[in-house]
């Protein structure tokens, strides 16, 4: 044991001596490098005939130059940022000037057209290519579009009898933008057009709205649009296409707001939002059975849906869609309801009359009339056999089901 201990000590001493030798060699090497560097600097000073003070002054001057250069770079970056901010601030004004220039060009190209009509055509124009397409579309409809002709004649009538125009007719929101006389812009407000649905020949411009097609749009009177929208709402639709059978465009929300009651307009918006959420195909999306509230519930063990809609705030079972019955299970609640024989009979009779939509699972009944039922989500089904209907009344004619039409 003593021999092994002595051998270990000797080994440790050898390692220590080797480390000391390496440290001494490293120190000598660094000293030699420092001496070589000092000799090289001294030689450069002699060749340049610089004293130590001059050499130090040169180093200080170089540092000051570098500091000045850094300051100039900071100033350049600041100026560049200010120029960019100024350019961004001027961009909206430039876009407005470009749009005004395009409108002025259209007025020169089509002097007999309604200026407000030309101004509206520039709403969707963002570049020269769009402007070229707009001009081509205006040329194509120059003979068929009433607002592309007759403006000069109406302008002369307005100038001949300016007292016939009231203050409301003289006011036009585009007057300041176009820089045109009030009588010029008022000519459009006193003109009339013919509705292609009801064929009313004298519909004022203020009572006219169009679909949202970019170029070949179609105009109708507000009353016809109101009836069309009401009929589509009754059929469960949430989108409202143009009344022209060949047009794929829809009526804008701005037009719908004009023809709908505020409550109906808000409900239609909510239904459209629900459709878009369902179409997104999100997993674990649960809807409240008592209102339009929806929430994602990833935990399948959580059986209670707590509605956060301030107008509802109800708790329901996400399995049976009934009010929350925790800690009872769904089947236990049903057994409690079946204790009373009269209640059971009434429930069975109600279930025989109630139908459930196969798409949105909403429940509804009918009080008579046609057996072709249309759900609020747009799904059509047979009230008798509960089959989904896709083509008119073909289902009732083929199977001999009474439609009670």
For residue 360, give both structure tokens. Answer: 């949105």
Site of tokens 């064929």: 199
Active-site annotation, residues: 370
SS (HEC) of the chain: CHHHHHHHHHHHHHHHHHHHHHHHHHHHHHHHHHHHHHHHHHHHHHHCCCCHHHHHHHHHHHHHHHHHHHHHHHHHHHHHHHHHHHHHHHHHHHHHHHHHHHHHHHHHHCCCCCHHHHHHHCCCCCCHHHHHHHHHHHHHCCCCCHHHCCHHHHHHHHHHCHHHCCHHHHCCCCHHHHCCCHHHHHHHHHCEECCCCCCCCCEEHHHEEECCCCCCCCEEEHHHHHHHHHHHHHCCCCCCECCCCCCCCECCHHHHHHHCCHHHHHHHHHHHHHHHHHHCCCCCEEECCCCCCEEECCCCCCCEEECCCCCCCCEEECCCCCECCCCCCHHHHHHHHCCCHHHHHHHHHHHHHCEECCCCCCEECCCCCCCEEECCCCCEEECCCCCECCCCCHHHHHHCCCCCC
């Amino acid at each position: 044991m003593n021999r092994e201990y002595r051998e270990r000590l000797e080994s440790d001493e050898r390692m220590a001596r080797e480390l000391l030798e390496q440290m001494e060699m490293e120190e000598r090497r660094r000293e030699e490098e420092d001496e070589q560097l000092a000799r090289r600097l001294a030689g450069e000073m002699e060749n340049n005939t610089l004293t130590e003070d001059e050499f130090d002054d040169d180093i200080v001057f170089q540092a000051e130059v570098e500091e000045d250069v850094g300051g100039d770079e900071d100033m350049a970056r600041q100026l560049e940022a200010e120029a960019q901010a100024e350019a961004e601030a001027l961009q909206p004004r430039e876009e407005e000037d470009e749009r005004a220039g395009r409108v002025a060009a259209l007025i020169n190209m089509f002097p007999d057209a309604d200026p407000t009509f030309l101004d509206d055509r520039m709403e969707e124009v963002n570049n020269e290519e769009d402007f070229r397409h707009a001009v081509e579309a205006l040329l194509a409809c120059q003979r068929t579009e009433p607002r592309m002709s007759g403006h000069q004649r109406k302008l002369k009538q307005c100038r001949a009898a300016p007292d016939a125009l009231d203050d409301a007719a003289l006011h036009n929101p585009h007057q300041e933008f176009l820089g045109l006389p009030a009588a010029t812009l008022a000519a459009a407000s006193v003109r009339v057009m013919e509705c292609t649905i009801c064929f009313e020949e004298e519909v004022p411009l203020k009572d006219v709205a169009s679909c949202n097609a970019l170029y070949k749009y179609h105009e109708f009177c507000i009353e016809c649009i109101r009836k069309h929208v009401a009929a589509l709402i009754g059929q469960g639709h949430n989108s409202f296409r143009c009344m022209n059978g060949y047009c794929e465009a829809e009526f804008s929300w701005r037009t719908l707001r004009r023809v709908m009651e505020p409550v109906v307009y808000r409900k239609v918006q909510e239904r459209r939002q629900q459709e878009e959420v369902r179409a997104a195909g999100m997993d674990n999306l649960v809807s409240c059975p008592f209102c339009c509230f929806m929430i994602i519930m990833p935990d399948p063990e959580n059986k209670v849906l707590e509605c956060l809609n301030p107008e509802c705030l109800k708790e329901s079972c996400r399995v049976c869609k009934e009010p929350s019955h925790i800690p009872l299970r769904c089947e236990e609640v049903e057994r409690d309801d079946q204790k009373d024989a009269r209640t059971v009979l009434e429930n069975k009779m109600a279930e025989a009359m109630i139908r459930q939509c196969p798409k949105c699972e909403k429940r509804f009944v009918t009080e008579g009339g046609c057996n072709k039922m249309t759900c609020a989500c747009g799904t059509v089904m047979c009230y008798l056999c509960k089959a989904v209907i896709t083509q008119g009344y073909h289902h009732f004619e083929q199977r001999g089901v009474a439609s009670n039409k």
